[in-house]
Structure 1
Amino acid sequence: MMARPELHAAAELPGAMLLPHTATLPPVPLEHTTIAIDVVGPLATTQVTQCFRNSHTAPLDALYVFPLPAEAAVTGFRLRVGQRVIEGSLRPQAEAQASFEAAAARGADAALLARQRPNLFSLEVANLQPGELVETELNFFSQVPFDDGWFTLTMPTVVLPRYQPAAAPTGPKEGQVPLLPKDAPGHTLSMQISLDVGRKLQLETQGFPCETIEQRGRTLVRLSDPAAVPDRDALLRYRPAGEGYAAATFAYRAAGQAGATLLMLTPRALPSNAEILPRELLFVFDRSGSMAGDSIVQARNALRACLRALNPDDTFNIFPFDNVVEQLAPAPLPFTQAALDQADQFIAQIHARGGTEIAGAIGQALSQPRDPQRLRMIVFLTDGAVGNEDRVLQQLAAQLNEARVFAFGLGSAVNRFLLDRLATIGRGCAEYILNDEPIEPAVERFQRRAGMPLLRDLSVDWGGALVREALPEPLPDLYAGQPLVLLARYAATRDQATTVTIKGRTAQGSYSEQLALELPLATPDRGGAWAALPQLWARARLEALEDEARLAASEHSKHRDQAAALALEYGLLSAHTSFVAIEEAPADADGRRSDQKIVVPVHLPAGTRREAFEPEPGPLGGQHFAAMRVARSAALPKGLKSLASRSGMSAMLLGSAAADEDEGTAAMFAPSMAQADERSAAPCEPPRSAAQRREAALRFLGRTQGANGTWADDERATVLALLAFIHSGHSPTKGTFRPQVRRAATWLEQRPENPWINLALRALTGQLSPTQLSAAATTELETLGLSLNEISARQQNSGDGNGGVLGPKANPQRPDAMTIGLTACLALLV
């Protein structure tokens, strides 16, 4: 993510705060965060309670920077001091900041909640008294995304420090937060989610171990550990039964106010069987320091899997970037085995290093001469840990030129706002893969969608209803499995019943679908999350205004004024409004004023390498410090700036690049990051369960298939791999690995008959039972004089060879026939 940091004496670090790396680090004032989420249908109501305690002998201030979902509509804030509750009020940002600073100077209890970025917030608490327990509570509403039949609720819990390029305009460096020293205790997390979504077919959790309880028609999901470490995103996926959310409408209207409606429609249009257009895929691969560890390995394997999913007429190129951009070849390569071998060797040499200069990578990829015979697609593989999102989005919009954009977000704390916006501007999709999550389902969705959209040129006819300001505008293209989701305001003097007509174009021709919509004059029987529909519409409108301002700088002041007025009208925290909670200072306030300030350090995001953000500890004046070299002109976030002005210190700007950063500095950092990758790729014990071992073996086979459909150009190994996929329920027409099965089947059907070919053809036509499929693997192992236990012990459980059964000299990037055969046998027998 950034160039190698250096140690400096404090006097040499203008604009940086030094954090001691010893056991004497002052206790963190934030003790615990409690998150309670209530889901009703497609809407979620969330309460976040943060508990601060001052264990010092004097008053202090605390500043905490934390993430929330970018789509969160924050509507409430309060401060609790002992038995006293201080309700927060929403004010224009400058007014809230001034009121907070004045209250802090008086010695009053005060807290300020501000938005630093679309998915990054700061909370400052002033004058925490010795031994005092203070709780802050914020509330927000959100719409749970629905895609491919699944709802996915994401709750981020930690900030990944973001890189700010030296060339970026001087301004606030939000998102730069100190990390907790290694093994130092930090704050903890508890979370509970209550689901009321009707009957469910399936429910999955990722990120944290969870337990599930069915209770009076609701499903409760909570973290197994009530004192978990907040160091990753928490994900809950659930798939409702039936077609209830394939076409659904919801409405809410308070008396005397404009109403709001939410419409969800998953089109019934079928994917096209027409000839697939040839594509030119340009993979923009993030190799910056923040990717070190699990993320870079996951990215390499995701790229290998994407290459195996290409079509015969596709071309591709790879652009690894940190603060230097390279590329695989001068021009896109055809999908051949020679090109795959070249790409595999190139990918194996990609290690994390340097800074996240994503704008330069976009510029280089999109400046390549375009092939008019192919549909150009830009595919990002990144954690999005950059601080200049606006510059990146502006550059993409300026250079896109009809290309489509897809993104894979990799890691435990991805900047989802950036990747979602990249995909929106590029009329594509974003996929997110946690470090411990299989990549193949996301790659399969990418392959299914990375052609022409299912529906284009959409329009909506509201049937004469008084509906206005429907969002999003313009309407997006839709890919297979994606719903059209609309939020709109409505006004009428009576109840309205209308028919909404959605029209568009598919590969087969025109498309039209209708949906009944009720728009009541008032909804007194509805409350809770439904009452948030007007605020969710307003949050979507604020997002649209920000997008317009981002891409039309000349009208920035007009958009700002509109956004500020809208946020105040609907009571929403925004870039232009903040919540402030203040209690009048008592008579003895002089002794309550703080002269100690602590910026709450955050946990190292799971799966990342500490080396990416700080150097190894070393002696410096009897104490060890971690500090980043920063540009002298670096400014501070508003919250950090106000805190620093009263304390004489400033925030540690993790990830700021010095103005004289160059390729040599990045190269100096590369060896330690490469070693970190190698440590993460070291062999270890096989996965614990048989199912995990089998799936890992299949994933290894899936990303090592040759361009011609074989494995290692070996007939026997190819048949064994095919049998392994069929044994696990995959076929040429179904399953995550159907492209691999289809390609292998095509090759085998062209081969002359022999016992192995006949075995494969019988398996493809369903003539073999699972027992007969497994028998082929048993016979193969007996021939080799090996046992299942022996090959299980060889299976890799991390790194580039994850899932493969490797011999002592095997190359995981170019596995031989023996490696393929043994891996397939394991998948068939385990």
Structure 2
Amino acid sequence: MVNCGLLTGLNEPVPLKSISVEVRVQDHVASVSSTLQYVNEEQRPLEALFVFPLPADAAVCHFSAKIGEQEIVAELQDKETAKDQYDDAVSSGQQAFLLEESAKSPDVFKLSVGCLLPGQNAAVTIIYVTELAVQADQSLRFCLPAVLNPRYTPEGSDAGIVSEISSVCGAAPYSLTLSVHVSSPKPISKLESNCTLDPLVFLRSDHTQATVNLSPGHMFDRDVELFLYYQDTHQPSAVVEAGVATAPSDSLMRNPVVMISLYPEFPEEGMSSMANQGEFVFVMDRSGSMDWTMHRGKEAQHRIESAKDTLLLLLKSLPMGCYFNIYGFGSRFESFFPKSVEYNQDKMDQALKKVKEMRADMGGTEILQPLAHIYSQPCIPEHPRQLFIFTDGEVGNTKEVLDLVKSHARSHRCFSFGIGEGASTALITGLAREGSGHAQFITGSERMQPKVMESLRFALQPIVSNISVDWTLPERVTAETISPPIDVLFQGQRTLIYAQLKGKNLGGSEGSVTVKYNLNSQPVTNQLHFCIKPTEETGLVVHRLAARTMIRSLEQKERSPDFTRKKIKRTLAKLRKTIVKLSVQAGVSSVHTAFIGINKDTKQTVKGPLQRRRVPTYAGRMRELSGYSIPRAPLRMSGPLRAPRMRGSLPSPDWSNEEEFDCSDDEVDNQGSEAAQDLLLPLVSLQKASGCWELDAALAAVLGKTEDELTNQKPAQVDGSVWATLLALIWLYSWRKEQQVEWQFVARKAAAWITSQKVGDLSQCVCVGNVLLGCQVTKDSLGI
């Protein structure tokens, strides 16, 4: 574990004074310009070091510095050459600026500002472009990372830039301003945030352009998330961007590039029955940081407690006939069972008992070893492996972890969940990308359960196979696909394809892209027609995103075990040269390049070493873990949050009665949020693995009745379990309809179980149940 803190001493002034961010969103792509204002208030020259996060998939494409009226635009160079130039410049008294990416994690960057003279100001600007991820509710998520947690680095590993992260207690000593401009061909419905925003201002009457600003007072104690809602977000689209006429003829930047956004729509018959088979492996972070709260409200749950509630829902939602196991990991790892076991009542009860006993007591965050152990277990025939990984994502060997996942990509799907502020976007999104799954982030006052159950819905979708992409273009025009082959498709989820267009007949002609695949052994075709004439000036955003995609693929190929043997050292050097060449031509950062800028007009002899000041990054709350000293600071809010995005946190009676709900005293003490007190979890906890409920006092208590009331009203034609299960369904569809995403599979199992009992007409039973519970649902709405 990295020992974090202000290593230069708490009384030394921090040279970074403010950060100003301008975001321009075009449909589902964002261009972000961040300007950092540095001031040297000391009596001798300084070198300022700032280690900070960026989105994992960002393409950094510009770096410049302005001192007075003079602007220095940095150039991309081979990283080692850039570092040498930086050191030489600083040692000779020249002002120099260096921006480099961590070799261990692509979402961590280091900015070095060398030889900042006494009293001098410097404005450093970084520009990057990034895609916006599609959420389960069809919103587009933009995240400005403001929190960078210390990364746990396994013993013996080279932490690199990661080891230079320094944290601050309380709010960071610099301010943030943020403005957002949104434009889209589709009307903007609304914009939500986890932070306080000024009112949204529409610039056009058709609502296709709008601006919004972050309200003053943000304290850098959480990431800034924006959620954009467009009308018809899920419609397929294509953007063709013109190349640069002066670029080399054989380069990516010379020709037009097309970005295709596809939203596969599976035939209804292919989705009519969700998979009842599979091996579900839940991997839960139990490091000390999981004992922190989910957010900063008074009623916030601890992360580990929210995770335990989520595991309860997952275990109750699994289909009969599948296999499952649960792992906990920290500095070590353990599993509930030696290998995955068949899902039945006995194994589910054993697992739930162990879930109750789970604590955040396993030290640091070492995820590589449990993953390696899971992959060493043979897959179960006819039961595709589905991996669910929950972590607050603070690791230093991110690329090593992702390479392991990719090497087993054909044997499983991986669904990842980043919990709390500062989770590594590179780790969370990378796990899902390399494991052909889906990534979710749970931050602020969002509840974990709805997002996890959405991912379970994806996991239960039939696995798509034999995916192919075909292009139909005018004569003498070809498309060279840049994106890696598509390994996974999910119903309604966006898939991006980048391709380079070559040829001379690129006028107003039309082309099309066709995606073919098999769903439940049935062939399916999705097609999109588009105009191949380049659109208006887009600032080379598409080219740079395409270049970043190619660079990441080449970097991963370079890390492949096949490229680490001495006999292919020459091939490895050639691959590295290719990465550097592409990075420099496209102006996009890579692990082998860095931005270097030198002010050669300023030269002042420096006697002795420069004073070094590390700019602290807010790193959440820390605590002592496994003997490693990490400062723990209180979390603060910069102002009231807007209404929570996820619905369903209704106030309801306390469920702390141990006898009725079988909850331990420790669990009750650690609950406290409305979500934990809600009656939904107690009701779900009473369901059997088969999908039914028993007619007993515990169920009656949840439904607000006595056991005699339930028994006396039971229709004669049904037995107690059928009646109890009907009542549970009626209650869910009436009183927790807005939380249906959480209990959808619980209800599906219940309806299937009732149907299997072959009871006669149930309409009268539903009517009696409605009267008893004060509801008005129909038999058909219950799915029976």
Same fold (TM over 0.5): yes
Aligned 8 A contact 1:723 1:760 in 2: no
Distance 1:361 1:70 in 2: 23
The match for 2:531 among 515, 518, 532 is 518
The match for 2:221 among 231, 245, 266 is 231
Amino acid at match of 1:761: V
Amino acid at match of 1:282: V
Aligned 8 A contact 2:255 2:502 in 1: yes
User: Would the alpha carbon gap of residues 173 and 143 (structure 1) be closer, same or farther in structure 2, given more than 3 Å must change?
Assistant: closer
Amino acid at match of 1:47: S
The match for 2:143 among 151, 154, 164 is 154
For 1:473, the equivalent position in structure 2 comes to: 484
State the 1:679 CA deviation: 11
Amino acid at match of 2:316: R
The match for 1:264 among 249, 261, 266 is 261
1:315-330 map, 5 Å:
315-330=323-338
**Secondary structure in 2 matching 1:500:** strand
State the 1:282 CA deviation: 1.5
State the 1:485 CA deviation: 1.3
Asked if 1:112 corresponds to 2:94, the answer is no
State the 1:739 CA deviation: 2.1
Deviation string 1:19-69 (CA, Å, 9 cap, x unpaired) is 377xx5312222222221111112211101112222323221110001111
**Secondary structure in 1 matching 2:624:** helix
For 1:57, the equivalent position in structure 2 comes to: 43
- Identify unmatched segments of 5+ residues in structure 2: 246-253, 294-302, 565-570, 633-664, 705-727, 778-784
For 1:285, the equivalent position in structure 2 comes to: 284
For 2:646, the equivalent position in structure 1 comes to: none
1:159-238 map, 5 Å:
159-168=148-157, 170=158, 172=160, 174=162, 176-180=164-168, 182-183=169-170, 186-200=173-187, 202-203=189-190, 205-217=192-204, 218-224=209-215, 226-238=216-228
User: Would the alpha carbon gap of residues 747 and 365 (structure 1) be closer, same or farther in structure 2, given more than 3 Å must change?
Assistant: same
State the 1:92 CA deviation: 1.9
For 2:111, the equivalent position in structure 1 comes to: 123
User: Would the alpha carbon gap of residues 216 and 50 (structure 1) be closer, same or farther in structure 2, given more than 3 Å must change?
Assistant: same
**Secondary structure in 2 matching 1:610:** coil
Distance 1:266 1:250 in 2: 15
Distance 1:259 1:464 in 2: 14
Q: CA RMSD in A?
A: 3.5
Amino acid at match of 1:740: V
Distance 1:143 1:329 in 2: 40
Distance 2:607 2:177 in 1: 31
Amino acid at match of 1:716: A
Distance 2:600 2:5 in 1: 31
User: Would the alpha carbon gap of residues 131 and 152 (structure 1) be closer, same or farther in structure 2, given more than 3 Å must change?
Assistant: same
For 1:559, the equivalent position in structure 2 comes to: 575
Distance 2:572 2:668 in 1: 46
Aligned 8 A contact 2:45 2:115 in 1: yes
Amino acid at match of 2:239: F
For 1:307, the equivalent position in structure 2 comes to: 315
Distance 1:370 1:72 in 2: 35
Amino acid at match of 1:89: E
Amino acid at match of 1:527: E
User: Would the alpha carbon gap of residues 157 and 706 (structure 1) be closer, same or farther in structure 2, given more than 3 Å must change?
Assistant: farther
Question: Which segment is superposed worse, 502-511 or 739-748?
Answer: 739-748
1:329-408 map, 5 Å:
329-352=337-360, 353-398=362-407, 402-408=411-417
Deviation string 1:788-825 (CA, Å, 9 cap, x unpaired) is xxxxxxxxxxxxxxxxxxxxxxxxxxxxxxxxxxxxxx
User: Would the alpha carbon gap of residues 173 and 140 (structure 1) be closer, same or farther in structure 2, given more than 3 Å must change?
Assistant: closer
1:240-259 map, 5 Å:
240-242=230-232, 245-254=234-243, 256=245, 257-259=254-256
TM norm structure 1: 0.74
State the 1:736 CA deviation: 4.3
The match for 1:599 among 614, 618, 623 is 614
Asked if 1:506 corresponds to 2:519, the answer is yes
Amino acid at match of 1:126: G
Aligned 8 A contact 1:284 1:380 in 2: yes
User: Would the alpha carbon gap of residues 710 and 509 (structure 1) be closer, same or farther in structure 2, given more than 3 Å must change?
Assistant: closer
User: Would the alpha carbon gap of residues 744 and 200 (structure 1) be closer, same or farther in structure 2, given more than 3 Å must change?
Assistant: farther
User: Would the alpha carbon gap of residues 108 and 432 (structure 1) be closer, same or farther in structure 2, given more than 3 Å must change?
Assistant: same
* Identical-residue share of aligned pairs (%): 25
**Secondary structure in 1 matching 2:109:** strand
1:703-714 map, 5 Å:
705-709=687-691, 714=696
For 1:739, the equivalent position in structure 2 comes to: 745
User: Would the alpha carbon gap of residues 83 and 724 (structure 1) be closer, same or farther in structure 2, given more than 3 Å must change?
Assistant: farther
Amino acid at match of 1:550: R
State the 1:251 CA deviation: 0.5
State the 1:497 CA deviation: 2.1
State the 1:108 CA deviation: 2.3
Distance 1:145 1:88 in 2: 30
Deviation string 1:670-695 (CA, Å, 9 cap, x unpaired) is xxxxxxx98996465x66xxxx899x
Deviation string 1:215-267 (CA, Å, 9 cap, x unpaired) is 3133333323x231223332222232136x52111111146331111111212
Amino acid at match of 1:480: Q
Aligned 8 A contact 1:73 1:535 in 2: yes
Amino acid at match of 1:248: S
Aligned 8 A contact 2:513 2:529 in 1: yes
Deviation string 1:419-467 (CA, Å, 9 cap, x unpaired) is 3232233222222222521123222222211135463322122114534
Distance 1:278 1:679 in 2: 32
- Identify unmatched segments of 5+ residues in structure 1: 6-15, 618-624, 627-676, 775-830
User: Would the alpha carbon gap of residues 292 and 31 (structure 1) be closer, same or farther in structure 2, given more than 3 Å must change?
Assistant: farther
Distance 2:115 2:212 in 1: 36
Amino acid at match of 1:279: G
State the 1:171 CA deviation: 6.4
For 2:590, the equivalent position in structure 1 comes to: 574
Deviation string 1:675-731 (CA, Å, 9 cap, x unpaired) is xx98996465x66xxxx899x554665567543446686342465664553235639
Aligned 8 A contact 1:59 1:593 in 2: no
State the 1:484 CA deviation: 2.5
User: Would the alpha carbon gap of residues 315 and 44 (structure 1) be closer, same or farther in structure 2, given more than 3 Å must change?
Assistant: same
Distance 1:586 1:234 in 2: 37
For 1:542, the equivalent position in structure 2 comes to: 551
Distance 1:344 1:108 in 2: 63
User: Would the alpha carbon gap of residues 488 and 397 (structure 1) be closer, same or farther in structure 2, given more than 3 Å must change?
Assistant: closer
Aligned 8 A contact 2:389 2:417 in 1: yes
Distance 1:176 1:679 in 2: 38
Distance 1:481 1:161 in 2: 36
State the 1:545 CA deviation: 0.8
State the 1:568 CA deviation: 0.8
**Secondary structure in 1 matching 2:200:** strand
Aligned 8 A contact 1:212 1:219 in 2: no
